[in-house]
Amino acid sequence: MPTILNNVTAMSASRQIGVSDKGLKTAIERLTTGKRVNRASDDAAGMSAGTGFEAAARTAKESVKGFQNAYFAAQALDGYLEEATNQALRLAELEGSGNQTSAEYTAVLALASSAAVLGGSTAATDSTTALGTINTTRSALAASMATAQSQANIAGIKSENNFAQSDTIMGADIGAEMVNLTKYQILMQSGISALSNANQSSQVVLGLFR
């Protein structure tokens, strides 16, 4: 029996259009941002976990730079010590030829000492002591470089893993969202059509007055 108090069919169609509209907007937002979680209402627990993983990833990523800087700083010192080693070897040649009192020996000793100090070692007095202290220092630098490189690698892996975990939680499933986009577009169109039909059905009552 037709009534004029409430068009329940139209009200239901209007409500369903609202649901479809929300779903359509959510699908569009996820497709444009690439994120499944864009606000706390999407998944509060997921947002908390995802942002936590991303923060850890960013921290690890920045720490890589610090470890790399430590590596290159040690490498620079080793460069000075390489030159000191060359000069110390020349000292050994001069000592072997009995030229410890020559002007060249004095000059080479000064060069070896200067390079050694720049590299973090000690001043040279002769080829034997120079090479001993230089090699000890270079050995320590090699250990520092190996440690820094390993720490940089570990931090890089940690960063990658945390970004991956964050993406798993926060990232949108593009394929699924494309399906949702199509679904809600169809539901919106069919809902609007249904609402139009529901509103027209109330016009039947007017026919009773004719």
Query: For residue 151, what are the contacts with CB-CB under 8 A and spacing of at least 6?
Result: 63, 67
Distance CA 201, CA 189 (A): 19
Q: What is the DSSP string of 121-133?
A: ----SSHHHHHHH
Q: Is residue 209 over pLDDT 80?
A: no
Backbone angles phi, psi at 198, to 5 degrees: -65, -40
pTM, entire model:
0.73
pLDDT tier for residue 195 given thresholds of 50, 70 and 90: confident
Amino acid type, 81: L
Give rounded-to-5 percent helix, strand, coil for the chain. Answer: 80, 0, 15
Quick one: tokens of 69?
Answer: 């800087």
Residue range 34-46: mean pLDDT, rounded? 93
Q: Evaluate if residue 25 carries a pLDDT over 60.
A: yes
3 state DSSP class of 147: helix
Q: Is 35 helix (H, G, I), strand (E, B) or coil?
A: strand
Give the three-state DSSP class for 171. Answer: strand
For residue 134, the Cα-to-chain-centroid distance in whole angstroms is: 39
The token pair that represents 70 in the structure block: 């430590």
Phi and psi, residue 54, nearest 5°: -65, -40
- pLDDT computed for residue 2 by the predictor: 55
Is the CB of residue 45 less than 8 Å from the CB of residue 37? no
- Residue 36 Cα to chain centre, angstroms: 19
How confident is the model at residue 119, as a pLDDT? 96
Within a 10 A sphere around the Cβ of 208, how many other Cβ atoms?
A: 7
Across the range 105-114, mean pLDDT stands at 97
pLDDT score at 56? 97
